[in-house]
Structure 1
């Protein structure tokens, strides 16, 4: 095996200066639990709407350490995971409304980085959704038809020859362009954290939440102190199951990625890829590839695994099997890059919910929550920040009426739950095999 560094590549692109942890007891207007994208965007939009609010954020490690800083960096208009399921559940009109809102967030993230001088390596390259077998070609055509039924414009499905002119992989049998952006997810998270601090939000690093005590004014308890607030926002995503109302509503699944050394000019010249688009394979368990700013190739995908007991320990980054599978897939796409050396091999957990769609709502009127991106949270969490702002402020708005919000028939109580282990463990393995079988149908 190659000499991999089991370190998140993005984490090596910017040094971190930790903010002081919470010490003692504090009162404030809003306490946000979780300093990733969801919590930071909620803090940003709340502070914009009501500058006088005293907002405190408690973060277990530091912003960008968790899923926000381990993402592959694709900012896409994807809502959850399955647009067909959204259409079936909510109708084409509401599904399109949500997709447009998330698509708008992609543009607004770019404006945010420029306005606040956040060097998040934001590139408006979009991405290419590609097919490598007949079943995936059919899926591209079905998705285009579905977009038409929703009233959304969709570029044509390209032939194998046309697709390979964009990205010169012999594995590609078709493709379609999708609007979006690429970012350095860690630098984006660190940048948002800086901006909200400059706006007057207090962020406590290394302050994991031990529990939230409900009440007229709920309390957030950490090892170093407690915060009593008028409103609390739960924005811990994959860790939402630590709170009783969300147990078995969300599970952690491990995804993996590899990042190479910078490619030489000679290596880059072997593969036509002038537009530097992201590359995503049209299947349920996604394979994706992209360039970093310094011309490393990032390749991710392969196994998506739930480990028994919801194991989130970092030792799972050191498992050899996922990286062998990723490297095999890489050579299937790019056999001309046999000599590319991968130096980073890492993983992290994404939050998955049973209906594959984000969930936002309130508990008892003074505790709000947001989670459930299923690995597609860079743009959706920006939209979610607006949803949480309006839920906290009690505003009836276009954001609080999006299909994300739990109300009526789609209440938290009615949200489907996962079974306990060992049923969950066995079921997750069966679900993975079922997805592979469905994707392979010709």
Structure 2
């Protein structure tokens, strides 16, 4: 029997902050207490310590996508770097990729400086191929990185790959800079740090409405906050706001986490470097070891449920966990006796061009950031700097990154309504599987 509870949520107790129960006036109100909102508050306070910043959060920091992530801190920008290169050119794509790459290191420095025990491990990750089509994708990705001017290691042979991670399924691997982290403890740690800097966080305060104006107002069930600037940082829930209603859709992703492995079980698989593994295909399969030597395995189809269904009941999907367990045994047949205690899921935000978007509305007094497509731990850190500069009206390298919606880049195209969206999402999944097989 599995616990349909997010494993990471069991690694740290939560003391909720008081909800909003008043009318408040401040400099900046941030809607959403996940990574994007928290990093934005942190960088704003670093730049302008006197700012009065308030965050409204529907549950508590780390409850949503931020605290349900698989914990891979990667230099990924969206899902389709090739499309970004085609649209913006190699130089701008490289600048964006390097900015997110720097965030990997800076997150590590942040945890050390602020004594945030996020179980940060700077041990890279391996993009692995398990068939010839995936090997061709590794070769294509490496060639694209070289055209962009990015330093890239060579593709590791089967023997070299299995010397790092002893999975008989792995035919080749490409080592990429990155880290692993406990995403929930990271989110809770950032929340603590920004509170210590004077930021007020209101938990259990879902935003019901943002009223635009010279000074926009955020309305919750318990109160109202009027601010000079509002930042919308609700990720998959951006569709609650009219300008974004059809710009983003929620897709579900699933994971399983085992009981702690015994010494005997650990000894069956060579994995001394503890690198994360990501399979080189569109609908990702990934696996890693946790700080307490559990094995996490995630992936398979990323379904869209009719009517934009984000309800927690979708965690109870036995077919998803059966597929994950089959894939786990394909990678690690020697761990046939490993027992899984956690089986859970969550929603990721997907946009039509598979890349993050940042910008402003209402004459510049409402800023937004969303569209990470499941690759947000490092990108949200970069996004916090982008939103800092957009809110402060500064023209910087960050406010000019290709993520920003401006004259050169438009917001993503809209999705159709259901039932067309539901049918289209199923067709896209089949198309991705077909393309992966023919890569």
TM-score band by shorter chain is over 0.9
Superposition deviation, residue 325 in structure 1: 0.4
What secondary structure does 2:307 align onto? Answer: helix
What secondary structure does 1:309 align onto? Answer: coil
- How many residues end up aligned between the 2 structures? 438
- Are residue 266 (structure 1) and residue 264 (structure 2) matched? yes
Correspondence for 2:331 among 326, 329, 333: 333
C-alpha offsets along residues 281-329 of structure 1, whole Å, 9 cap, x if unaligned?
0000100000001100000001201000110000000111100000000
Correspondence for 1:11 among 9, 12, 17: 9
> 1:105 corresponds to which residue?
103
Superposition deviation, residue 409 in structure 1: 3.9
- Are residue 95 (structure 1) and residue 132 (structure 2) matched? no
- Are residue 187 (structure 1) and residue 151 (structure 2) matched? no
> 1:376 corresponds to which residue?
375
Correspondence for 2:155 among 148, 154, 157: 157
Structure 2, gaps ≥5 residues long = none
Please list, as runs of the form range in 1=range in 2, the aligned pairs for 1:244-323 lying within 5 A after superposition: 244-323=242-321
> 1:119 corresponds to which residue?
117
C-alpha offsets along residues 61-118 of structure 1, whole Å, 9 cap, x if unaligned?
0000000000000000000111111111111100000000000000000000000000
Which whole-Å CA distance do the structure 1 matches of 2:104 and 2:75 have between them? 7
Please list, as runs of the form range in 1=range in 2, the aligned pairs for 1:127-206 lying within 5 A after superposition: 127-206=125-204
> 1:435 corresponds to which residue?
432
Which whole-Å CA distance do the structure 1 matches of 2:135 and 2:41 have between them? 42
Which whole-Å CA distance do the structure 2 matches of 1:436 and 1:115 have between them? 43
Superposition deviation, residue 48 in structure 1: 0.6
CA RMSD of aligned residues (A): 0.6
C-alpha offsets along residues 343-373 of structure 1, whole Å, 9 cap, x if unaligned?
0000000000000000000002100000000
Which whole-Å CA distance do the structure 1 matches of 2:183 and 2:117 have between them? 11
- Are residue 426 (structure 1) and residue 415 (structure 2) matched? no
Which whole-Å CA distance do the structure 1 matches of 2:341 and 2:300 have between them? 18
> 1:49 corresponds to which residue?
47
> 1:402 corresponds to which residue?
401
Superposition deviation, residue 29 in structure 1: 0.2
What secondary structure does 2:156 align onto? Answer: coil
Which whole-Å CA distance do the structure 1 matches of 2:65 and 2:218 have between them? 22
Correspondence for 2:223 among 210, 220, 225: 225
Which whole-Å CA distance do the structure 2 matches of 1:374 and 1:304 have between them? 11
> 1:27 corresponds to which residue?
25
Compute the TM-score of the two structures, normalised by the length of structure 2.
Answer: 0.99
Give runs of ≥4 in structure 1 deviating > 3 Å.
none
What secondary structure does 1:28 align onto? Answer: strand
Contact 2:216 2:226 in 1 (8 A): yes
Which whole-Å CA distance do the structure 1 matches of 2:254 and 2:87 have between them? 31
